[in-house]
C-alpha cells in the first residue's frame, strides 16, 4: 500500500502543498486532479522520491521514502509530465541505460527492450536518435522505461499527453490489466474522461490541499453531479463564459 501522511512542501516562503494525506491500495487506480499550480506535480515528485517533503512522509509497502529512499524508488515506475529524456540516444539505448541503472540482468533486459520496442511500435525507429521523435513517441519510450523493472507502483504525470488514439487505448488497457494483477497506479491528469473510464477513485487538489476524495462510481449514480461539475465547484473555478466572450470580442472587434 502507498501511504502519504501530512505531506507538506514549501518553496522558500511559499506553501505548495499543505498536509496532504491519502492512501493507494494494491489493485487501485487513483486519478489526481487539480488546476495548474494546485500542487499536483509537487505531490508526484514527493511520491516518486525526487523531492523531500518539508513535513509529513510517504511510504510504499512498509518502506518509508525518508528511511530507505533507494529501496523505496526500486518499487516505482515513473512517467514524468514532460518527455524529458536523453534525446541523443536511440529508444533502445535509452531503455538499456535505464535497465542497466536498475541492475536488470543483461539477458532479461535485452529481451524486454526488444519486446517493448515492438509492442509500443517503436521498433521501426530503433536506429533513430530520439531528437527526431514526436512527443507521442517519446512518451511511449518513457512508458516503456517505467515498465522495464515491473514496478509495484506506477506513477504517471499526464501519461496520455501526445499519444495518438491507438497508443492511448493501449495504455489505458495496460493500466487496467496491471491494476487487476495487484499493482498500484497513481496518475495525475487534467482529463476527466480518462479518470472516469480508468480510475476507481479520484482525489482533487486545489491550492495545495485536498478538496475532494471520492469513488468514481459515485459520479455515475442517478442524479449525481458529473465529475466535471464537482471539480469546478470544489476548486472554485470562475464562470468561463464571460471570459470566452471577451476573447471572441477581442479578435472580432476592430
Q: Which stretch binds other proteins (CB under 8 A): 8-16, 160-168, 179-187, 246-254?
A: 8-16
Among the listed residues 35, 63, 64, 170, the single contact to other proteins using CB under 8 A: 35
Dist CA 90 CA 94 (whole Å): 6
Tell the residue number behind the cell numbers 513535513, with chain if given.
55
Q: Is 205 in the site for other proteins (CB under 8 A)?
A: no
- In contact, 227 and 196? CB cutoff 8 Å: yes
Nearer to other proteins, 222 or 246 (CB): 246
Q: Any contact of residue 125 with other proteins (CB under 8 A)? A: yes
CA–CA–CA angle 164, 29, 76 (5° rounding) = 85
Give me the least distance between CB of 8 and other proteins, in Å please. 14
Residues 53-72 that bind other proteins (CB under 8 A): 70
* Whether 159 contacts 187, CB under 8 Å: yes
* Burial state string for 212-237 with b = 16 or more CB within 10 A and e = fewer than 16: beeebeebeeeeeeebeebbbebbee
Q: Select from 20, 48, 143, 156 the one that contacts other proteins (CB under 8 A).
A: 48
CA of 123: how far to CAs of 108, 137, 218, in Å?
A: 18, 11, 42
- In whole angstroms, the minimum distance from the beta carbon of 91 to other proteins comes to 10
Beta carbon of residue 203, minimum distance to other proteins (angstroms, whole number):
17
| 128 forms part of the interface with other proteins (CB under 8 A) | yes
User: Quick one: residue 32, left, alpha or beta (phi over 0 = left, psi -120 to 50 = alpha)?
Assistant: beta
Q: Name the one range near other proteins by CB under 8 A: 20-28, 42-50, 165-173, 240-248.
A: 42-50
Total chain residues near other proteins (CB under 8 A):
56
Binders in 70-99 for other proteins, by CB under 8 A: 70, 73-74, 76, 78, 80-82, 84-90, 92-93, 96-99
Distinct helix (H) and strand (E) counts, the chain: 9, 10
CA distance 140 to 124: 14
Residue ranges in contact with other proteins by CB under 8 A: 11, 14, 16, 35-38, 41-42, 45, 48-51, 70, 73-74, 76, 78, 80-82, 84-90, 92-93, 96-104, 106, 109-110, 113-114, 124-125, 127-129, 131-132, 145, 235-237
Amino acid at each position: 500500500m502507498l501511504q502519504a501522511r501530512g505531506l507538506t512542501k514549501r518553496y522558500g516562503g511559499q506553501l505548495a502543498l499543505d498536509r496532504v494525506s491519502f492512501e493507494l491500495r494494491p489493485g487501485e487506480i487513483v486519478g489526481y486532479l487539480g488546476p495548474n499550480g494546485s500542487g499536483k506535480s509537487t505531490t508526484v515528485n514527493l511520491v516518486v522520491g525526487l523531492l523531500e517533503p518539508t513535513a509529513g512522509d510517504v511510504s510504499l509497502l512498509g518502506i518509508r521514502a525518508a528511511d530507505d529512499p533507494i529501496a523505496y524508488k526500486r518499487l516505482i515506475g515513473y512517467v514524468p509530465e514532460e518527455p524529458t529524456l536523453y534525446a541523443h540516444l536511440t529508444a533502445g539505448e535509452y531503455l538499456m541505460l535505464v535497465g542497466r541503472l536498475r541492475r536488470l540482468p543483461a539477458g532479461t533486459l535485452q529481451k524486454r527492450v526488444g519486446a517493448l520496442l515492438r509492442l509500443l511500435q517503436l521498433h521501426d525507429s530503433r536506429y533513430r536518435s530520439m531528437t527526431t521523435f514526436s512527443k507521442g513517441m517519446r512518451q511511449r519510450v518513457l512508458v516503456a522505461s517505467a515498465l522495464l523493472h515491473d514496478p509495484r507502483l506506477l506513477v504517471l504525470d499526464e501519461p496520455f499527453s501526445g499519444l495518438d488514439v491507438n497508443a492511448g487505448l493501449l495504455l489505458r488497457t495496460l493500466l487496467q490489466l496491471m491494476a487487476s494483477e495487484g499493482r498500484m497506479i497513481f496518475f495525475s491528469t487534467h482529463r476527466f474522461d480518462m479518470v472516469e473510464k480508468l480510475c476507481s477513485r479520484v482525489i482533487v487538489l486545489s491550492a495545495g490541499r485536498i478538496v475532494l476524495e471520492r469513488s468514481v462510481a459515485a459520479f455515475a449514480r442517478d442524479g449525481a453531479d458529473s465529475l466535471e461539475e464537482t471539480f469546478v465547484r470544489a476548486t472554485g473555478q470562475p464562470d468561463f463564459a464571460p471570459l470566452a466572450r471577451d476573447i471572441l470580442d477581442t479578435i472580432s472587434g476592430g
